[in-house]
Amino acid sequence: RDEHFFRSDKLKVIGELAAGMAHEIRNPLTTIKGFLQLAYQHGYKDIDKYHPMIMDEITRVSELTSEFLQFSKPNLTQMKTESIRSCMERALSIMGTEIEREGHDLSVDYPEPPLYVLIDKDKIVQVLVNLFKNAIDAMDEIGKIGVKIYGRDNGVFIELSDTGKGMSADTRAKLFEPFYTTKAHGTGLGLSISHKIVQDHGGRMEVAETSSAGTVFAILLPAAASIKSE
C-alpha cells in the first residue's frame, strides 16, 4: 500500500542524509587528525601554526551538527496566524546589523493592508534568515537587498532580491539538495532545510531569477483564511 511505499521512500531519504552527514563529518576529522599528528611529530613546537586550522575544522563540525539537528526537530509545532511583516521584522532584528555592517542597502516594502499567514513563526523566520545570509554571501561588493511582499490568488508572495554574483545553471538545479554548497565553508544545509519548512506549510520556494546582476528568491505561502487586525 501507499503507506508502505512512503515509508521506504522516507528510509531512502534518511539513508542519503546519513551518508551525506557521515561524509561531511569525516573530512574535517581527517584534517584535524592530520594536523594534530604533525604537531605531535614536531613536539608541539609549532602548535600555533596548526591551532587555527584545527579550531576552524572543529567549528565546522559543530555548525554542521547544529544545522543538521533542524532536520530532526518536530515540524510546525507552533501554528498561529501572523502578519508577514512581524516575521520580516524579526528576521531583520537578527540579520539587520550584519547587512548594515557590510554596507549594503536594504529596502523593504510592507504590504498595506497587512497580509496574514498561518505559520510556525520561528520556522519561517529561520527561512528568511537563511535567505538574508545567502544574499550577503553572494555580494562581494556593496550591494542591495530588496524585499517585496504581495498577495495574489489566496497566496502571499515574498520576494527577496540581491545584487550578488548570481549562480550557474548547475547550482540552480541543485541548491535545494542537502549538503550542496559552492562555498569554502558552507554546509549546504540552509536552503534544503528552508525548502522543507516552506513545503511543510503547503507553500513553495524557488529561484525566480538569477543572473550576473543578482538573484531573486520567491516564497509562496497560503494566505490565512481569517484576517485579524494588528
**Nearer to ligand ADP by C-beta: 83 or 181?**
181
User: Between the CA of residue 161 and those of 69, 110, 147, 178, 208, what are the distances in Å?
Assistant: 28, 15, 6, 22, 9
Under rule CB under 6 A, residue 114 binds ligand ADP: no
Q: Give me the residues paired with residue 215 across strands.
A: 162, 210
> Does residue 127 interact with ligand ADP by CB under 6 A?
no
Q: Which residue, among 81, 157, 172, 84, has the nearest Cα to 125 in the 3D structure?
A: 84
**Does position 95 bind ligand ADP by CB under 6 A?**
no
User: Sign (positive/negative) of CA torsion 127, 137, 21, 33?
Assistant: negative
Should residue 181 be labelled a site residue for ligand ADP when binding is judged by CB under 6 A?
yes
Single out the segment in contact with ligand ADP by CB under 6 A; choices: 6-14, 37-45, 46-54, 161-169.
161-169
Q: Does 175 help bind ligand ADP (rule: CB under 6 A)? A: yes
* Binding status of residue 163 toward ligand ADP by CB under 6 A: no
Nearer to ligand ADP, 83 or 194 (CB): 194
Binding track, positions 210-229, relative to ligand ADP; x by CB under 6 A: -----x--------------
Site stretch for ligand ADP (CB under 6 A), options 69-77, 100-108, 112-120, 179-187: 179-187
Residue ranges of alpha helices (H) inside the chain are: 2-41, 47-72, 84-101, 121-138, 169-174, 190-200
Could you give the CA distance from residue 160 to residue 153 in angstroms, rounded to a whole number? 20
Binding piece for ligand ADP, criterion CB under 6 A, among 39-47, 119-127, 160-168, 197-205: 160-168
Based on the shown chain and the rule CB under 6 A, indicate whether residue 24 belongs to the binding site for ligand ADP.
no
Task: Please give the backbone phi and psi of residue 229, each rounded to the nearest 5 degrees, phi first.
Answer: -95, 155
CB of 49 to ligand ADP, least distance (A): 27
Distance CA 228, CA 83 (A): 9
Kindly report the CA angle at 172 between 107 and 194, in degrees rounded to 5?
A: 60
Q: What is the binding site for ligand ADP (CB under 6 A)?
A: 130, 134-135, 138, 162, 164, 166-167, 171, 175, 180-183, 186-192, 215
